[in-house]
Structure 1
Amino acid sequence: MKMSPKTNKRTCIKEIILENFMSYEYARIPFKPGLNLISGPNGAGKSSILLALSLALGQSHTERSRKLSDLIRRGEEMARVSVVFDNSSREGRRPIPDSDSDAYVLSRYLKDDGNYWHEANYETVTKEEVKRILSQLSINPDNMLIVMHQGMIDVFGAIDSQERLKTVEEAVGLSEYRERILKARENLSHKLSEEESINTMLEEAQNTLEHWEEEYERYQRKQRLKKEKKRFEREYAWAKWWRQKEKVNRLESKIDTKKEDLKEINQDLERTEEKEEQSKTDLEELEYELENLHRDLIHHEKNETEATAKLDILEELKELDQDVLKELTENTEELEENIEKAEQKTEETQSSLVDKKQKRNKSREKYTDHRVRKAVLSFRRELLEEEISDLEKDLRKNKEELKELETEAEEKGSKVQTDRNSRDILEDIRVTNAKLSNLEDVSADAEKMYKDHKELLEELEEKAEKAEENRKKALEELEIRRERWRSEIQQLLKKVRKTYRTILERVNGVGDVRLINPQDIDEAGLELTVGFRGAEPQTLDAYTQSGGERSTSIMCFLLALQQHIKSPVRGLDEFELHMDPRNRQMMMRELLDLMEESDSQYLVITPGRLVEIEEVPNVIAVQNTAGSSEVRVAT
């Protein structure tokens, strides 16, 4: 971590101009690089010069200590204080790069109505703009080590070690390290807060997710039960269809069987009718033959009778006429022969007649049998056709019902094969409905809520991991900055300590500069210890050392610190207060020696005349005549 430079080159104050300010009506006070000593009696207006400087630079503590309108010269309505900085270019760069002029003027106007404003190079600017300009020069008028008003040496000695360390850090340009630590700590606090907030949200999200996970499981059970119910309903619908299908198949099979029976009956009936017809024909033929035989028999019997009668006549004639006897005998023989033939034919005819009658009777029996069988078959056929008609009617009805069941079943889903009993399936549906009734309160948004909260949890887990990583980085960054701050402070104090001890030795003192509580930047402080005339070093405070010892010790520390202060301009009012003449002369000598190694400008106010000091480059004498302060430059 490198500190960026805040200034392009060193500058100095060329002059301070006072107009209607305090006891000054008008004064131009020139200054030179190095040490500028402002001297004069008490009440002459020396401190007003340093107050005017801090006021022009926008120092804030003066505004809190008194009203600005009280600083206007009595009887005047407005006052103005101006500070003219050297802004000449060196190596092509100016201390205030925004301006092309060699002199840069900062002014402050005060009015008795309480209004005041700032000007930079005669243009009105804000106080923040003044701070920005001064920051380019590394000048902070609010730091007592830059502008130390009257009595501030005692203040510096009395402030707590923490405030003293902050003041030194700001003066030497190390406050940025503290600011970076504070920013890193603020960042860490933010990261911790963010992590805590995310972890809180994560915990809440986990609890919420657990609830919705349970609801989602119930929702899934409900969906499974619904699917199961739908499957059972589908199975039940198709089970009824299959049962009806079996019924239709049985009817169709039964009808087919009946039709086969009917076909056989029809075939049998046809055969019977044929036999009946044949029997009838045979019977008719036999009847005809019997009639013929009857006629033949009658004919033969008639012939036999006629022949017998003729024979009887011939027998009678034989007795009548012998002449005719011979002829009659011949005729008798013929008649007897005819009678014999007739008898033979009669016998034959009678025999044939008996035979034919027997055949007729048999044929009649067959005919009767055939007629009876025909009647029976016809009756059976009639019954069978009626039964088939009823079955076909029943079949059509069952087919219609089958079609309706198929339509209903198709609405439940595609066809499924099942051998289960419908009652068993209905029992499963009943049990499923009972289970579903226990899940009626399950939200329809359970799945969406679960997935949304799961996604939220995953996002928060990622954020928590990132927050933890950021917190570790912030903590690591904080530790790095703390270590860098401690290192820079320790390096500074190591150098200051050496010079501080050296200067203390010259005034017969010993002491140390210590960083206390270095692990905690809030409690860390700068502690000075000092002991004079062989005494053990004690912590510098308002109760242990005398006023002169405190002033001498603090001045030794300030001199040791000077070469590290970034501001090119320092103001110091009556540093020698409470010092004995020897230490006063010694401190001034140390200040002059410091000038040889420093390119800074010092404005030092002292109430008395310095003896044995001839190297002061610029001495400004201040005196008050008739209520008006005047200045003159003395060599």
Structure 2
Amino acid sequence: MIVKLILENFKRYRGKHEIIFKPGLNLIQGHNDAGKSSLFHAISYVFFNQTPTLGTTTYALVTHGEQSMRVVLEFIAPKTGELYRLVRGRSSARSSASFFTLMKYDNRRREWLPLLSSSRGGRERELRIKLSEILGFDKKVFFNVIYAPQKEFVNIVRGGSEVKRILDSILGISAISTLKQCVHETIRDVKVKVQGMIDIESRLREYESFERSFKERLNTLAESIMRDEVSYRQLMKQLKFHEERHKLLEGLLSRVNKVKELRNRVKQLEAAIEQISGDISKLCQKWGDVASVRRMLLECQNNLKAIEEDLRKVEKEIDSLRARREEVLKRIGYLESTIKSRLQVSTKSRCPLCGQPIDRELIESEIRMLDRERHQLKLTIEKLDVRARSLEEKRTSLMEKREKLLTKTRELEMVLDQMDELIKRIDEIKREKSSLSNTVTSEVRDIASALAKIADEQELLSRLGDLDQIEVILNSLYKKAWKLMADTKSQLSAIRSRIESMVKERKEIMKQLEKVQANINRLRRELQTIKKYEKALEELERLEKGLEVLEEEFRRRVLTLLAERTYYWYRQLVSEPLYTRVVIDPETYEVLAQPIGFNEPQPVRSFSGGGHETLFALAFRLALAETTGVRDFLMFDEPTDATDSRNRDSLIEALHRASHNFNQILLITHHGIGREISAHIINIKYDRERNSSIVETA
């Protein structure tokens, strides 16, 4: 049931307008073009985002000159009695879309709780589903049962294919038709599958023949693979034997090469011994043997020690002479200084220091004595210089001798070291040669022993004593082993390729066999299914016939009930009934009425006078609402337009009585009738000064 409608800039309702609705009959009155139908348009817009006149072109619903509009509808859910509010609006721009918000009133918290909103990602389809759950009807029921638009709701009694389609959907007949169509299509599909059974049996035999041939080929391949695998294993054993022998021979050849290297090394050592012996001989020819060199070195060392001792004595004496000469030079310096000071004083009468009289004779005597001492000291200096030069010459001679002895000593030490090193090197080389010779002998013996176990030919065995002969035999056996190994590998490669080819072929055949077996299983299942289809086909055909009967019987009964209730409401709507019964054509769904004095029903659209077609259309709407269980609210736009005054009063009274069966009836009229019996009156007029429709509640 609708409780409140708020319009903001909707069509001719400029600004905000609030309309309250009450249970029972609500009359919406006003002059033509006042804006009465806009209320119903607003309800259809807020519910389903469309109107009966403009469809989904909703930008034209915005009041001219305004930027946006909004419609608020509060209604009570018929099943739960809960109060809901639905808000919808949009801007005047063509490219914009409508927005919506669905809320529920919480009595305990006394506030509106949002349920679904386009601002939170809600979509139009989700809103319609939610509204259908709350209201108990969908858009089709609303526009064909609840809402009867002005001058259009009579179309429903005129019948036609579109009316039949809509009514079948509303009354539930289309559900049976849909089920019948599904059964018919199922029967058609089943017949096609059953007809294909012959082809399936033929293909099944063909696939079974393929299966047998594939299995035979697989058995042949399995036997061939087993034979080749046995041969492969035997050749692998031979290859392993040849590889081991080849590896052994390769090892022996490697040992032979190492022995040859050792033998070459022995020869190199012998040559080195000869060379070193020659070097020693050359040294002996020049210096003598090692003992002679040692004696010469010892003599040189002793002489060097004696010269060193003499040199130390000479240097010590030279140092002593230098010290004596320094002392004498210092004394001479002192004497010369004293003589100089005495000479200075001898020319004066008094001493410049103490002022006493000077004895010149005494001073002259002292000067002569000091001069004599100075002269003696100079002679001593000369003697000391002569002795020093003699000692310097002796030291130079000793140093020359020492250098010669040092040179000779170093030469002798170097020669001795060279001789010792050569002798030591000869000893080391001899030891190394002896060790290598023993190793060569041992290796040759071991190689000959190992080769004796491998060689089969007695002719070869007789030549195992010589290393070169051993090498020749080994090379011969090595080449033979390599050839046998290469031949075996070639045979193995051929067998392996053959096995791989057969395995690959087997895999391909197995894949084909799996496909064939899958097809065989599928065809067998299809055959079993088709046999089941054959059994089900009869039942489906019986079901189709039953549904045809059910559809006709259900349509007959529903249309009969609808015709009876239409005639009932017709009698309620008119003051004096002019028709005895109502019939609905089951082919076109056109409403037929039988006038008094007629033997057959006639189409109601052929009647004129008194607005009987309109009355029958209204009666049909009420009957359709009853039949479909719509009991909440109905909306009729100007149903009294085409009726005469006598039937108009009866219509209002009938709708008043009908409001006891329906919670709420919204009726638009401009005749001013029914004010005494209506539950609520809403007056609509157009204010030219405000350029807007306005609402007045009586």
Correspondence for 1:178: 174
What is the Cα deviation at residue 540 of structure 1? Answer: 2.4
Q: 1:469 to 1:633 in 2, by over 3 A?
A: farther
CA deviations 1:360-381 (Å, max 9, x no partner) are xxxxxxxxxxxxxxxxxxxxxx
> Secondary structure, in 3 states, of the residue corresponding to 2:677?
coil
Please tell me whether the aligned partners of residues 46 and 86 of structure 2 are also in contact (alpha carbons under 8 angstroms).
yes
Question: What's the CA shift for 1:480?
Answer: 5.7
Structure 1 residue aligned with 2:681: 619
Distance 1:619 1:458, change over 3 A: same
| Paired residues for 1:60-459 under 5 Å | 60=50, 62=52, 65=55, 67-87=57-77, 94-95=80-81, 102-114=82-94, 115-121=97-103, 123-124=117-118, 125-136=122-133, 137-142=135-140, 143-160=143-160, 162-168=161-167, 174-175=171-172, 178-179=174-175, 181-182=177-178, 184-192=179-187, 194-199=189-194, 201-209=196-204, 211=206, 454-459=520-525
1:237-293 CA deviation, whole Å, 9 max, x = no partner? xxxxxxxxxxxxxxxxxxxxxxxxxxxxxxxxxxxxxxxxxxxxxxxxxxxxxxxxx
Q: Could you say which residue in structure 2 is the equivalent of 1:20?
A: 9
| Distance in 2 of aligned mates of 1:36 and 1:190 | 50
Q: Contact conserved, 2:49 with 2:58, CA < 8 A, in 1?
A: no
Secondary structure at the counterpart of residue 190 of structure 2 = helix
Aligned to 2:398: none
* Kept after mapping to 1: 8 A contact 2:34/2:693: yes
2 CA distance for matches of 1:475 and 1:77? 62
- Shift of the alpha carbon at 1:560? 3.6
C-alpha displacement of 1:52: 0.4
Quote how far apart the aligned CAs of 1:585 are.
1.9
| SS state at 2:533 partner | helix
CA distance in 2 between partners of 1:602 and 1:512 (Å):
26
Q: Secondary structure at the match of 1:630?
A: strand
Residue 566 of structure 2 aligns with an amino acid whose one-letter code is Y
Structure-1 separation of matches of 2:546 and 2:19: 48
Per-residue displacement from partner, 1:392-411 (whole Å, max 9, x unpaired)? xxxxxxxxxxxxxxxxxxxx
Structure-2 change in CA distance of 1:170 and 1:511 (3 Å): farther
Q: What is the CA distance between 1:554 and its match in structure 2?
A: 1.7
* Counterparts of 1:128 and 1:158, CA distance in 2: 32
Per the alignment, residue 526 of structure 2 pairs with 460
- Structure 2 distance, partners of 1:450, 1:66, is 58
Q: Deviations over 1:446-503 (max 9, x none)?
A: 9988866554432111121333455555555556666555555444444443343345
In structure 2, how many angstroms separate the alpha carbons of the residues matched to 1:74 and 1:21?
Answer: 9
Q: Does 1:510 align with 2:576?
A: no
Are the counterparts in 2 of residues 571 and 603 from structure 1 also a CA contact under 8 Å?
Answer: yes
**3-state secondary structure, aligned to 1:604:** strand
Which position in structure 2 is the counterpart of 1:603? 666
Q: Which has the higher helix share?
A: 2
- How far apart are residue 525 of structure 1 and its match? 4.6
- Cα deviation 1:594-622 (Å, max 9, x = unaligned): 223x14311111121116x6211111111
Q: Residues 216 and 447 of structure 1 are in contact (CA less than 8 Å); yes or no, is this contact kept in structure 2?
A: yes
Structure 1 letter corresponding to 2:86: L
Structure 1 Cα separation of the partners of residues 620 and 193 of structure 2: 50
Shift of 1:120: 0.6
Kindly tell me: are residues 216 and 15 of structure 1, through their superposed partners in 2, closer, same or farther at Cα, counting changes over 3 Å? closer
Q: What CA distance in whole angstroms lies between the structure 1 residues aligned with 2:580 and 2:619?
A: 10
Instruction: Say if 2:656 is the partner of 1:592.
Output: yes
Query: 2-side partners of 1:530 and 1:631: how far apart?
Result: 40
Distance 2:512 2:129 in 1: 60
Q: 1:79 to 1:144 in 2, by over 3 A?
A: same
Q: Secondary structure at the match of 1:44?
A: coil
Q: Distance in 2 between matches of 1:478 and 1:30?
A: 52
Name 1:581's counterpart in structure 2: 645
Aligned-pair distance for 1:31? Answer: 0.8
SS at match of 1:144: helix
1:58 to 19, 30, 48: 48
Q: Kindly state the Cα deviation for residue 444 of structure 1 after the two structures are TM-superposed.
A: 12
Report if the CA contact (8 A) 1:509-1:530 is conserved.
Answer: no
Q: 1:53 to 1:483 in 2, by over 3 A?
A: farther
User: Does the aligned pair in 1 maintain the 2:145–2:624 contact within 8 Å?
Assistant: no
C-alpha displacement of 1:78 = 1.1
Partners of 1:528 and 1:65 in 2: how far apart?
A: 27
**C-alpha spacing 1:66/1:529, structure 2 compared with 1 (3 Å):** same
Equivalent-residue separation in structure 2 for 1:105 and 1:468 (angstroms): 57
Please, which of 501, 509, 512 is the counterpart of residue 567 of structure 2?
Answer: 501
1:536 to 1:131, Cα distance in 2 relative to 1, 3 A = farther
2:188 and 2:51 map into 1 onto residues whose CA distance is 36
Paired with 2:130 and 2:42, the residues of 1 have a C-alpha distance of 18
| Paired residue secondary structure (1:578) | coil
Query: In the comparison of the two structures, how many residue pairs are matched?
Result: 381
1:527 and 2:590 aligned: yes
Alignment partners' CA distance in 2, 1:17 and 1:73:
14
* TM-score, normalised by the number of residues in structure 1: 0.52
Change in 2 beyond 3 A, CA 1:449/1:52: closer
Distance 2:53 2:157 in 1: 23
Determine the structure 1 residue equivalent to 2:30: 40
Q: Is the 8 A contact 1:139 1:146 kept in 2?
A: no
| Cα shift at 1:194 | 3.9
TM-score (norm 2): 0.48
SS of alignment partner, residue 57 of structure 1: helix
Supply the distance in 2 between the matched residues of 1:546 and 1:540 (Cα, whole angstroms): 14
Matched position secondary structure for 1:191: helix
Distance 1:459 1:629 in 2: 74
Q: How many angstroms apart in 2 are the aligned matches of 1:600 and 1:165?
A: 28
Structure 1 residues without counterparts, runs of 5 or longer: 1-11, 96-101, 227-442, 518-523
Matched residue SS, 2:3: strand
Secondary structure of the residue aligned to 1:608 is coil
Query: Could you list the per-position Cα deviations for residues 188-215 of structure 1 after superposition, in whole angstroms to 9, with x for gaps in the alignment?
Result: 2552354245335534323334555778
- TM-superposition CA deviations, 1:177-235 (whole Å, max 9, x none): 533541x2353255235424533553432333455577889x69x99xx9xxxxxxxxx
Supply the distance in 2 between the matched residues of 1:533 and 1:565 (Cα, whole angstroms): 30
3-state SS of 1:558 partner: helix
Q: CA offset at residue 79 of structure 1? A: 0.8
**Displacement of 1:13:** 0.7
Distance in 2 separating the partners of 1:468 and 1:192? 10
Which residue is 2:476 aligned to?
none
- Work out whether residues 17 and 83 of structure 1, in 8 Å CA contact, stay in contact via their aligned partners in 2: yes
* CA contact 1:41–1:607 (8 Å) conserved in 2: yes
How far is the alpha carbon of 1:562 from its aligned partner? Answer: 3.9
Q: Is the 8 A contact 1:39 1:46 kept in 2?
A: yes
One-letter amino acid of the counterpart of residue 684, structure 2: V
> Which amino acid letter does the alignment assign opposite residue 126 of structure 2?
E
Gapped runs of 5+ residues in structure 2?
A: 104-113, 221-508
- Cα distance, 1:119 vs structure 2: 1.5
